[in-house]
Chain A
Amino acid sequence: MHRRRSSVCALALLALQVPAFALAQEPVQLADVDFESETENDGAEDDLPQVRWVSSPLEGAQEIPPEAEQSAVPRYDLERIVVIGNRKTQRHVILRYIEVSPGETFQASDPRLETARYRLLASGLFHDVDLSLARGSKRGKAILTVRVDERNTILVRQIVAGFSELTPYGSLDIGDHSFFGTKVDVSTAAVFSKKQYGYRLRLSDNHFLRSDFGLHIEGLYSHARDFFGHESVCVETCPAPESPAGYDNFAVMRYDRAGLRLGSSYALPAGAFLHLTHRIEEVSAHMPPAASHVSFGETRPIVFGHLQPGHSIVSSLTLGIVRDTRDNIWLPSTGNRTALDVEVATELIGSNYEFSKFTLSHDEHFPLGRKHSLKLGLFAGLIMGDAPFFDQFFVGDFSAFVPSRVLDLNFSHLQPNLLKTAVQEMRYEDLSASISLEYSIPLYRGHGFFYGINAYFGLGAFMLASRDHLRTETDRYKGFRAVPMDLTVDLGVRVDTRIGPIVFNLANLFRLIPAVGDRTAQE
């Protein structure tokens, strides 16, 4: 009985494993046919047009004389270019992508015409682009018609809504990537929480003055605060008079930032881009005159993010190079992206802060069977000197369990501690490294509103440290626990849509739930 059941199972398995073969018809035996002596006309060639081949079927392409080749494909003199369908986009913006000019003689198969179509499509301004030729006013002349179907260019780019253990917060980023039809990208973003807010205005032109250089300008203003101290925090007086435990949860620093960034970019061969940016900001910081906390088992003074009290200036230059060969920006399955940035702030360009910041990141995507893919992500960062805390590496940038910063504003005082290592003492630091693996499974691919849906599972490890505490063994952190590292995991779904990408992940979901715990302090 058991054996019979096993046989049934085995048969079922076989049937499922080879569905295509099992359902196919009986293979046919090939018939031997001598075409030369075949007399029976099966009628297959009845509807073939009677044509005279210009060159012999057996003649190689390279043997066709150049003059015959040229005469075979029509050539025209371009009389003019007509643009149809551009209600908003300015005509000169469209003509910028077309490399043939009126008066020029061109072949119908000129690759510049195909290139123009794809460049226009890649501009992001149009749903569809169609090029066609029509007769000109005289024999041999042609009119090139470019018909475009414009798409909406004003779009919401990011909406963030969340709760941290301290405050609800939200942000909105909206922009027009062809401002008044000029292909200049203008966007504005705002972020709000109970006692913090920030604004950003961006302008970006990838072809400044119709050149290959891009111009990028950004203005930023924020009225913000951040939370310092690890445990047993005392602000000004110790023990804290208003706290039953005698300690505060953290010390608050208030600060305002107003700044401008001016940058340029240039496309290099092999898909690489170079960029140079100058940033200048005025920072106004207000911090308690004295505060202490217990860190690594010892009572230490709190360093308020290297900021100078009162007014100060941050001025820096950043040079970076990026190479991106991924097959898809949002749902990549193969290729890689590498970015290297070097930022230098020095007194020579008017900065009150002297530091150098180096970051190197590399993401490699490996295609697997059944269209699954695996991403290996590597990151390393080093800051030398005293960079303001908002330029340092933040724990929320690496751990899915701490809310990320939005427009540089932080809304949480949480610390990750899955491995219970010294990383729970780290927040804004100068050394960082991470490695992550992410497995993606495509759930849907289409051409409608939804382009694709991927489910993903990510697992990573990161290290975050100050140079002083890279490996400090104390009574509290011994052995491997002295190494400030932790793990992070995430699980979610990425949806690529006509209006932009949407990410639903477990970490975001957790953050939408107001934290309930022992941290009762308010921002």
Chain B
Amino acid sequence: MTRYAIASVLLAALCLGAPSLQADTPPTRKIELTRMDERLFATLDFRDIIDGPLQKKLTSGLPTRIVVQVNLEGHNKNKPLSYWVRSVSIVYDLWEEVFVVTVEDDQGQRRAQVKTSGEAVTLACRVERSAVAQIGELPGGVYRLRVSVEVNPVSKEMVENIRRWLARPSGGGEVSHGSFFGSFVGIFVDRRIGQADRSSTFVSQWFRVGGQ
């Protein structure tokens, strides 16, 4: 009887925990995956992250940065097994009327000029058959890719600075019971500050390596 009670409690606890476990799993997108020379090649397309307002922002004359991170992860493994990152900057030249697209990844830096924002977005948000992981030494098993995309991510240094600007008002001493210098600015600041303009995470389908 005691065992049933324990089992019931465990079951109930797991039932309560299950929704949050599922909520942490990002959506799955079918990604074209191939292997060559012990390397894993992926074709990614995340053009949908550039929505209407961001499309408009592309012509602001200021840079729009898109950073994609691809992690290889095994089943029930918390740590990524490999890590690949690509950063793309799009800047509209006001006088030449072209979009300057700069790509940086493990292949180095390269730059191109295109005439339309659609072309710029395609260059930035399509990864065509890129080697995203070494899989030659992996033990046989089931794996998948976790892809995180951020538009205009905020650097760690900038986040530190923002924190400093926000913290300033509370930097006062409590000479009475309540901060004398507490001008409460931090309270009214939108909590989104310090986050990317857009971010999206998705995972690939599971795929098998070795152990056939």
Using CB atoms and an 8 Å cutoff, list the residues of chain A in contact with chain B: 5-6, 9, 12-13, 16-21, 24-25, 27-35, 44-45, 47-49, 51-61, 63-64, 72-74, 76, 108-109, 113-115, 118-119, 121-124, 127-128, 130-135, 139-140, 142, 151, 153, 155, 157, 175, 177, 185, 187, 202, 204, 206, 214, 216, 218, 220, 261, 263, 265, 267, 271-273, 275, 277, 279, 318, 320, 322, 324-330, 339, 341, 343, 359, 370, 397, 404-408, 447, 451-452, 496, 498-501
Contacts and interface: CB of A to CB of B under 8 A. Distances in A.
A408 B206 contact: no
Contacts of A55: 108-111
B110 A54 contact: yes
Contacts of B35: 30-33
Contacts of B55: none
A370 B63 CA distance: 35
Nearest to B141: A27
B2 interface: no
Contacts of A272: 171
A132 B62 contact: yes
Given A49-B119, A133-B94, A273-B172, 20 more contacts: A6-B3, A13-B11, A19-B25, A28-B206, A29-B208, A32-B36, A44-B32, A59-B108, A114-B158, A122-B162, A175-B184, A187-B183, A265-B168, A318-B175, A322-B172, A324-B163, A326-B167, A359-B174, A407-B176, A499-B188
A447 to B, nearest CB: 6
Contacts of A118: 154, 158, 161-162, 165, 193-194
Given A27-B142, A408-B177, A324 B170 contact: yes
Contacts of A185: 169, 183-185
B62 A135 contact: no
Interface in B157-212: 158, 160-178, 180-181, 183-194, 205-209, 212
B62 A113 contact: yes
A261 B180 contact: yes
23 contacts: A20-B21, A24-B206, A28-B205, A30-B35, A35-B36, A35-B41, A57-B108, A63-B108, A108-B62, A121-B190, A123-B165, A128-B190, A133-B94, A134-B61, A142-B61, A218-B180, A261-B180, A265-B181, A273-B168, A320-B172, A320-B173, A322-B171, A496-B191
Contacts of A18: 76
B100 A72 contact: yes
Interface string B20-33: 11100100100011
A17 B22 CA distance: 10
B50 interface: no
A463 to B, nearest CB: 19
Contacts of B109: 55, 59-61, 64
A6 B5 CA distance: 12
B79 interface: no
Contacts of B158: 114-115, 118
A327 B170 contact: no
Nearest to A132: B60
Interface residues of B, number: 95
A131 B61 CA distance: 9
B33 to A, nearest CB: 6
B14 A13 contact: yes
Task: For the complex of A and B, list the 7 residue pairs with the smallest distance between their C-beta atoms, beginning with the closest.
Answer: A273-B171, A133-B61, A320-B173, A61-B109, A185-B183, A132-B60, A49-B119
Contact of A124 (B4, B36, B185): B185
Q: Which residue, of A187, A220, A271, has the highest number of chain B Cβ atoms within 10 A?
A: A271
Nearest to A140: B95
B71 interface: no
Contacts, number: 301
A66 to B, nearest CB: 13
B171 A265 contact: yes
A404 B176 CA distance: 12
B192 A142 contact: no
Nearest to A446: B191
- Report which residue of A44, A45, A119, A124 has the largest number of chain B beta carbons within 10 angstroms of its beta carbon: A124
Nearest to A173: B178
A57 B41 CA distance: 17
Interface string B27-68: 010001111100011010000000000000100111100000
A127 B172 contact: no
Contact of B187 (A17, A58, A329, A397): A329
Contacts of B101: 51
Q: Which of B32, B128, B187, B194 has the most CB of A within 10 A?
A: B187
A148 to B, nearest CB: 13
Contacts of B96: 74
A124 B177 CA distance: 24
A498 B129 CA distance: 44
Nearest to B154: A118
A127 B175 contact: no
A320 B172 CA distance: 8
A19 B102 contact: no
Given A30-B208, A121-B189, A73 B172 contact: no
Contacts of A49: 114, 119, 122-123
B91 interface: yes
A30 B93 CA distance: 42
B175 A279 contact: yes
**Of listed B57, B160, B178, residue having the most chain A CB within 10 A:** B178
A408 B162 CA distance: 33
B29 to A, nearest CB: 13
A305 B193 CA distance: 46
Nearest to B126: A48
A109 B7 CA distance: 60
A349 to B, nearest CB: 15
A29 B113 contact: no
A405 B111 contact: no
B166 A122 contact: yes
Contacts of A48: 122-123, 126, 128
B177 A405 contact: yes
B207 A29 contact: yes
A436 to B, nearest CB: 17
Contacts of A64: 109
Contacts of A496: 191
